[in-house]
Amino acid sequence: MLNSSLAQLGTALRTKKISSVELTQLYLDRIAALNPSLNAFITTNPEFSLKQARAADELLSNGKEQNLTGIPVAQKDIFCAKGWRTSCGSKMLENFIAPYDAHVIEQFNNAGAVNLGKTNMDEFAMGSSNETSYFGAVKNPWDLNTVPGGSSGGSAAAVAARMCAASTGTDTGGSIRQPASLCGISGIKPTYGTVSRYGMIAFASSLDQAGPMARSAEDLALLLNVMTGFDERDSTSLQRDKENYTRDLIKPLNGLRIGLPKEFFAEGLSNDVAECVSTAIAEYKKLGATIVDISLPNSKLSVPVYYVLAPAEASSNLSRYDGVRYGYRAPEYSDLADMYEKTRAQGFGAEVKRRIMIGTYVLSHGYYDAYYLQAQKIRRLIAQDFSEAFKQCDVIMGPTSPSTAFNLGEKDNDPVQMYLSDIHTIAVNLAGLPGMSIPCGFDHNKRPVGLQIIGNYFAEAQMLNVAHQYQQVTDSHNHAPQNLGL
């Protein structure tokens, strides 16, 4: 049951081979057994989850179910879920009980899915290794000495270790794709504006986008059907007709043009990753695709541009944490200014403070043009590179991450090295394009390698088709970490 696809689980539930209560309990037991070593979940609430499962069983027995009814899904702890602690991986929100549901949570609730718990993450989604969480690092299920990636590291580890049927993540600079890659699972960040940000704790609002994480492209399509949709409470939510993302899954790939940007295969890429990606590209040729060499000349600037824009937006978004209306307040202070300063100094971790300071600096008087405005201009150049590229190809492929999972503690004292681990994912966020990562093999240490697929705006159905066809003829996505009782 733990290795079943979402479609198989749906069938098992409809044909009464298993009830949602039994399935939910199966996952809850697995979380109880594995979480002490993996730390993938921050909060579980078995009573709440089982109540939702009972309601789902009711829908199933009345024939009122939808595709995901009764299926246990883990939610990244960045989504407010009414009555649930929603910590965003921070001491600042350690005791914050969300008073309302995020749009994403509402969508899953309306579909009859079960909220299995809240997954661990880098504090306020700022990190690439899940080591900045106030609740401790998540361990990669493939090798407990390595990181799962971040910031959606708990969600990725939970799917890889079969602690949930699927999970949600958010991606500001690679936070769905990079952990998906490092944990050997599939994840998609849709086009900016496709999934509502309402109730999703803000990091960098012009870049933040939620998406699903699961074991296959087929599962992702079913999850995306639930998560997307216009929501007037998010001012950047796009008014588009609802799509069925499974519609193109079975299309053959004859004639597909795959663009390979030379910049994605430059120095810094590990040999094992390069080899796995090349093997995957060869597989695509067998499926009928043609290869086009392309260039994204400004993509090398995406890391510096991102580390101006994202911290600038973050410093503004995180100004709300002042110890007045909700969240942590310092126990001792002399006056109002002292209360703000101590609350924020004690409530935020080192990486969050670092980014607030970068953002404050680049937005401060006299530096705005040199940093913020310059970064916004280069952002346009980066986006234009992609539009030029998509004149020659249908999808772009390359590595998701320049290396496989690195060791815990290896980069956590060197922010610049950590930032560079997102070099292949960040440009996609700056342009607002959809991007995904699917497993495409293993390195010599048996650590998973991810293939990144980038599509044009609103090309999610096509990307899922491209990923699904690959997963029909290869089996990297079916591998599970050893020694976890699978």
Partner 1 sequence: MSLSNLDVQKVALLARLAMNEAEIADARIQLSGIFDLIAEMQAVDTRNITPMSHAQDVCQRLREDKVTSSDQRELFQSISPQAEAGLYLVPQVIE
| Residues in region 355-414 near partner 1 by CB under 8 A | 356-358, 360-362, 364, 370-371, 373-381, 383
- Dihedral angle of Cα 368, 372, 374, 380, to the nearest 10 degrees: -150
| Active-site annotation holder among 76, 118, 139, 411 | 76
- Answer for which of 41, 108, 124, 348 binds partner 1 (CB under 8 A) is 348
The footprint of partner 1 on residues 83-102 (CB under 8 A) is 96-97, 99
* Position 267 contacts partner 1 (CB under 8 A): no
| Active-site annotation holder among 20, 155, 175, 299 | 175
Which 3 state secondary structure label does DSSP give 197? coil
- Answer for which of 51, 91, 342, 479 binds partner 1 (CB under 8 A) is 342
- Answer for which of 354, 442, 472, 480 binds partner 1 (CB under 8 A) is 354
Residue 254 vs 416, nearer CB to partner 1: 416
Question: Cβ distance 82 to 175 under 8 Å?
Answer: no
**Min separation Cβ 463 and partner 1, Å:** 17
Question: Cβ distance 386 to 294 under 8 Å?
Answer: no
- Residue 27 in tokens: 């996952």
Q: Name beta bridge partners: 168.
A: 212
Residue 18: CB atoms within 10 A of its CB come to 15
Residue 326 vs 442, nearer CB to partner 1: 326
Task: Report how far residue 90's alpha carbon sits from residue 315's, in angstroms, rounded to the nearest whole number.
Answer: 16
The footprint of partner 1 on residues 108-167 (CB under 8 A) is none
In angstroms, the Cα distances linking 60 to 6, 19, 65, 111, 114 are 15, 9, 5, 12, 13
Task: Report how far residue 59's alpha carbon sits from residue 47's, in angstroms, rounded to the nearest whole number.
Answer: 19
Residue 33 vs 345, nearer CB to partner 1: 345
* Position 337 contacts partner 1 (CB under 8 A): yes
Helix boundaries (H) for 15-127: 20-38, 46-61, 103-110
5 catalytic? Reply is no
C-alpha 408 chain-centroid distance? 20
**Min separation Cβ 372 and partner 1, Å:** 9
364 catalytic? Reply is no
Residue 139 vs 189, nearer CB to partner 1: 189
76 catalytic? Reply is yes
* Position 46 contacts partner 1 (CB under 8 A): no
Task: Report how far residue 51's alpha carbon sits from residue 81's, in angstroms, rounded to the nearest whole number.
Answer: 15
Residue 48 vs 361, nearer CB to partner 1: 361
- Residue 147 in tokens: 């990181």
* Position 322 contacts partner 1 (CB under 8 A): yes
The 423-442 contact track toward partner 1, x by CB under 8 A, reads: ------xxxx----------
**Min separation Cβ 231 and partner 1, Å:** 11
Task: Report how far residue 306's alpha carbon sits from residue 231's, in angstroms, rounded to the nearest whole number.
Answer: 27
- Answer for which of 108, 340, 390, 470 binds partner 1 (CB under 8 A) is 340
Residue 65 vs 131, nearer CB to partner 1: 131
- Answer for which of 25, 67, 109, 206 binds partner 1 (CB under 8 A) is 206
- Answer for which of 301, 410, 472, 480 binds partner 1 (CB under 8 A) is 301
- Residue 391 in tokens: 């004149």
Task: Report how far residue 165's alpha carbon sits from residue 110's, in angstroms, rounded to the nearest whole number.
Answer: 18
* Position 473 contacts partner 1 (CB under 8 A): no
The footprint of partner 1 on residues 171-200 (CB under 8 A) is 192-193
* Position 240 contacts partner 1 (CB under 8 A): no
Q: Name beta bridge partners: 453.
A: 397, 436
In angstroms, the Cα distances linking 217 to 245, 353, 438 are 10, 37, 8
The residues that are catalytic are 76, 151, 175
